[in-house]
Amino acid sequence: MVEIRCIVDAKNHLGEGPLWDVKEQRLYWIDSSAAEIYSAKEDGSDVKRYFVPTHIGSMALREKGGAVLALANGFSLYDFETQKLTHIGDPEADEPENRLNDGKVDRRGRFLAGYMAYDHDREDANRGQRPVRNSALYRLDPDLSIHKLDSGIKCSNGPCWSPDNKTFYFCDSYDKVMYAYDYDIETGNVSNRRKFLTAWEHPGTFDGSTVDSEGFIWNAHVFGGRIIRYAPDGRIDRMIEFPVRNLTSVMFGGKNLDVLYCTSMGRPMKGVPQKEATAGGVFAVTGLGVKGIPEPRFAG
């Protein structure tokens, strides 16, 4: 039987990026607009909080300790003990209205993350008034070099890989589309972008994603109040309705990798009802009957 529990009533402004680390057996997540990083035990206890100086889009733990962060001003390394940053680079420094958003690590230890425009938030209430800036998808290699992979993206979200590493999934939340790319695990390059799914037929849009051990894609539909599991051929396998409307991202974790952790948004948005008591909380979904794949660490 599927059970949904709020395990941390975090009241995050913009909770994002649940990350289960197998080595530490801890759950990490962020509050993007509050510029905070959190971690907790499997059951939501022993919550720790860390601070960064600017908006944070995503993070990954490093093999060498600490984390790599996708921040408003580009990529940085982070030391949890000192809470200090080492800046790597900002490939869109000439676009101050763009910030890094969602990102994940491939199974060779590279960190892929894309930008979004701050315009995206401002447009939600009055869409179409002015064009939203385009941004791009980048790869940060273990040697800390940055490589542009794709462009023409408005709001980067949901990066994840098929279990065989041959397909990379990536969402543009603004355009309500999930793309599939051919992925070269040896080089970290993408090719053959095609439209895999659209979200126009459901309330909300694509946000964070993860892939389970069977190759099915799980996606949080922000503003839609549900998680959808998609088969590798694109068909909907199941929907899970949630007690909060603004879910943001998902990842499997727990000691058996069979708990689906979900973050949510607590901030009010114009035109979007936000009345749930646990909005901005972290949720655990159990009883799904499937398992995830261990999340790799950044090799740099």
Angle at 177 between CA 173 and CA 181, to 5 degrees: 110
Residues 269 and 253 sit within 8 Å (Cβ to Cβ): no
Mean pLDDT value across residues 142-170 = 97
Confidence of residue 125 (pLDDT cuts 50, 70, 90): very low
- Mean of pLDDT over the chain: 93
For residue 274, how far is the Cα from the chain centroid? 21
Give residue-wise pLDDT tens across range 36-81.
999 999 999 999 999 999 999 999 999 999 999 999 999 999 999 9
pLDDT of residue 134: 82
Structure tokens given for 30? 């962020």
What share of the chain in percent tops pLDDT 70?
92
pLDDT of 11 strictly over 50: yes
Q: How many CB atoms lie within 10 A of CB 215?
A: 14
Give residue-wise pLDDT tens across range 83-97.
999 999 999 998 888
Nearest-angstrom CA–CA distance, 158 and 209: 4
Confidence of residue 202 (pLDDT cuts 50, 70, 90): confident
pLDDT of 4 strictly over 80: yes
Residues 32 and 16 sit within 8 Å (Cβ to Cβ): yes
Confidence of residue 123 (pLDDT cuts 50, 70, 90): very low
Set 175, 207, 212, 258: catalytic member: 207
pLDDT of residue 96: 82
Please report the domains of the chain, with CATH numbers, ordered by start residue: 3-286 (2.120.10.30)
Mean pLDDT value across residues 147-176 = 96
207 counts as catalytic? yes
Using H for helix, E for strand and C for coil, what is the string for the chain? Answer: CCEEEEEECCCCCEEEEEEEECCCCEEEEEECCCCEEEEECCCCCCCEEEECCCCEEEEEEECCCCEEEEECCEEEEEECCCCEEEEEECCCCCCCCEEEEEEEECCCCCEEEEEEECHHHHHHHHCCCCCCCCEEEEEECCCCCEEEEEEEECEEEEEEECCCCCEEEEEECCCCEEEEEEEECCCCEEEEEEEEEECCCCCCEEEEEEEECCCCEEEEEECCCEEEEECCCCCEEEEEECCCCCEEEEEEECCCCCEEEEEEECCCECCECCCCCCCCCEEEEECCCCCECCCCCECC
Give residue-wise pLDDT tens across range 218-246.
999 999 999 999 999 999 999 999 999 99
Mean pLDDT value across residues 208-213 = 98
pLDDT of residue 95: 85
Nearest-angstrom CA–CA distance, 253 and 250: 10
pLDDT of residue 124: 46
Least confident range from 111-115, 122-126, 229-233: namely 122-126
Mean pLDDT value across residues 269-282 = 76
